[in-house]
């Protein structure tokens, strides 16, 4: 399947923008060669590590401790590492199972990394990755447990938004791993029944379009948007049920929203529990999207407080403004975050709390330096990539901030993706607070 969409509604293929010239690999291609390897531990990215003739091999479709026959999918006799698929299992791990999806194996759909094990062991693999990234990149030895989130069926039927590719014959399908080819499918086992029942999955005759975006919202709307399209994206509505009340959001059907049914509530709750906002506090919400965190933070700080939500995507910022319109002390700002934090130092200097929800590449040194210069009492960093989080935590440490808590959530079961919420506080320690009002 296609990769998870970025925090701004674009597919996550790394940095945005046009790609530079493709470097041609040096040496003789090893693609297609087969050999036997003993698989070591899991690595970041949905594969495990093995070694062959002194070279690292990143192997998909395997598990730690297995012995497998691999087929090289990328690399030459001069590259420092190879990529490969496990095409035959000689010694299986006890956690291995038959993948429920018929197109999840080598050469099939590239969206799911761990269909050959259950969701519980998938969470353990993700926890290992987060721990290893924090240790290796940030020098932090932290306990990590990836928590299950309500809303899926043993790791299946959770994806409420799905991007389908369309081939030259007009058939809708999903991409293989690291490929632009299209595999026509009749079902996607991680998609919700509403998404599968939209008519887009397995459809034919989609002439003149490159992709179909399917969105099935918490309010019961199901929208299929062809791309490209001259028409603006339809507006859909989401609801997030919290303790005793519900938040309502409008957004573009092709815009970013968390795809797991339990994700939005889980992340808002984690941010609130970590920051413990008080009446009268000033909050800055960076990479704010359509206002998911800002809406509840504004309710918590009340009319004597202030929330500024900064978002770089114009349409998302417009929706954030509409979603926060009933709260005069909350403001949505359309601006590039990196530019805004350097041009608005006064606003940051006054912030008691900061929410940081950057794209997969992380916040970066410039943003962290600007926001931590104001010495907020706490920062909630919502991270969709543990490596980027680890690098940013190194920067935060040099600026006098420590990890007060870290939680990890399985918002993308059967894939290698994991969401973390790290709460950062000044090294000298957070101020003493009164007990939090549970309402």
**pLDDT, tens digit (0-9, with 9 covering 90-100), for 214-223:** 999 999 999 9
Instruction: Give me the pLDDT at residue 345, please.
Output: 83
Query: Exposed/middle/buried for 11, CB within 10 Å: 0-12, 13-18, 19+?
Result: middle
Among 48, 109, 384, 420, the active-site one is: 384
Cα–Cα nearest to 41, from 136, 112, 142, 139:
136
Q: Are 141 and 186 in contact (CB under 8 A)?
A: no
Q: What is the mean pLDDT of residues 365-375?
A: 95
374, 344 Cβ separation under 8 angstroms: no
Dmax (CA) for the chain in angstroms is: 67
Query: What is the phi-psi region of residue 44: left when phi exceeds 0, alpha when psi lies from -120 to 50, beta otherwise?
Result: beta
- pLDDT band, very low/low/confident/very high, at 429 (cuts 50, 70, 90): low
Query: Stretch 233-244: mean pLDDT, rounded?
Result: 96
Q: Give strand ranges (E) for 234-377.
A: 235-241, 246-252, 282-286, 306-311, 330-334, 353-356
| Tokens read off for 88 | 């035959």
Q: Which are the contacts of 195, defined by CB distance < 8 A and separation ≥ 6?
A: 159, 160, 161, 162, 188, 201, 214, 216, 222
pTM for this model (two decimals) = 0.91
Our CA angle for 281, 287, 289, nearest 5°, is 100
Whole-number Cα distances in Å, 246 to 302, 345, 410: 17, 33, 23
Question: Is residue 391 reached through a cis peptide bond, with omega within 30 degrees of 0 on the bond before it?
Answer: no
Asked if 48 is an active-site residue, the reply is no
Q: Is the pLDDT of residue 6 over 90?
A: no
d(CA 279, CA 303): 8
Residues whose CB is less than 8 angstroms from the CB of residue 361 and which lie 6 or more positions away in sequence, other chains included = 14, 15, 385, 388
Task: Using the structure block, give the residue that is written with the tokens 């006064």.
Answer: 346
pLDDT at 435 over 60: no
Tokens, residue 151 = 């809303």
pLDDT one-digit tens code per residue, 49-93: 999 999 999 999 999 999 999 999 999 999 999 999 999 999 999
Check pLDDT > 80 for residue 238: yes
- Measure the CA–CA gap between 360 and 230, rounded to whole angstroms: 29
Please give the share of the chain, as a percent, with pLDDT higher than 70. 92
C-alpha–C-alpha distance, residues 329 and 310, integer Å: 14
Nearest to 402 by CA among 384, 423, 431, 432: 423
What's the pLDDT band for 415 if we cut at 50, 70, 90? very high
**How does pLDDT run across 178-194, given as a tens digit for each residue?**
999 999 999 999 999 99
Q: pLDDT value at position 23?
A: 64
pLDDT confidence of residue 273: 97
- In DSSP notation, 202-242 reads T----TT-SEEEEEE-TTS-EEEEEES-SSPPPEEEEEEE-
Structural tokens at position 223: 């929208």
């Amino acid at each position: 399947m296609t990769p998870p969409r970025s925090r701004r509604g674009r597919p996550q293929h790394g940095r945005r923008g046009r790609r530079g010239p493709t470097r041609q690999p040096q040496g003789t291609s090893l693609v297609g060669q087969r050999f036997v390897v003993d698989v070591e531990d899991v690595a970041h990215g949905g594969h495990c590590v093995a070694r062959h003739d002194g070279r690292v091999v990143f192997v998909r479709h395997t598990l730690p401790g297995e012995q497998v026959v691999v087929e090289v999918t990328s690399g030459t006799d001069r590259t420092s590492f190879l990529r490969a698929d496990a095409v035959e299992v000689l010694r299986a791990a006890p956690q291995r199972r038959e993948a429920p999806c018929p197109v999840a194996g080598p050469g099939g759909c590239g969206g799911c990394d761990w269909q050959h094990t259950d969701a519980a062991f998938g969470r353990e693999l993700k926890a290992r990755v987060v721990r290893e990234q924090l240790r290796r990149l940030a020098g932090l030895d932290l306990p990590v447990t990836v928590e299950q989130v309500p809303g899926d069926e043993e790791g299946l039927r959770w994806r409420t938004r799905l991007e389908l590719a369309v081939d030259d014959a007009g058939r809708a399908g999903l991409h293989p791993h690291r490929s632009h080819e299209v595999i026509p499918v009749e079902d996607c086992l991680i998609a919700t029944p509403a998404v599968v029942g939209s008519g887009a999955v397995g459809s034919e005759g989609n002439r003149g379009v490159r992709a179909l975006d399917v969105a099935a919202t918490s309010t019961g709307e199901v929208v299929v948007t062809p791309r490209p399209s001259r028409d603006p994206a339809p507006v859909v509505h989401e609801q997030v049920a919290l303790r005793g009340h519900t938040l309502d959001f409008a957004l573009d059907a092709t815009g970013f929203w968390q795809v797991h049914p339990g994700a939005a509530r889980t992340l808002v709750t984690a941010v609130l529990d970590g920051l413990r906002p008080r009446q009268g506090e000033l909050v800055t919400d960076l990479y704010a999207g359509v206002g998911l965190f800002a809406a509840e933070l504004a309710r918590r700080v009340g009319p004597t407080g202030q929330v500024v939500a900064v978002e770089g995507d114009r349409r998302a910022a417009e929706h954030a403004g509409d979603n926060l319109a009933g709260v005069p002390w909350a403001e949505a700002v359309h601006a590039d975050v990196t530019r805004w934090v350097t041009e608005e130092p006064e606003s940051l200097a006054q912030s008691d709390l900061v929410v940081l929800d950057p794209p997969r590449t992380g916040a970066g040194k410039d943003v962290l330096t600007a926001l931590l210069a104001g010495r907020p009492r706490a920062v909630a960093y919502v991270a969709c990539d543990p490596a980027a989080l680890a690098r940013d935590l190194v920067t935060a440490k040099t600026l006098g901030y420590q990890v007060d808590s870290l939680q990890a959530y399985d918002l993308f079961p059967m894939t290698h993706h994991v969401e973390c919420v790290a709460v950062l506080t000044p090294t000298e320690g957070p101020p003493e607070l009164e007990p939090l009002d549970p309402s």
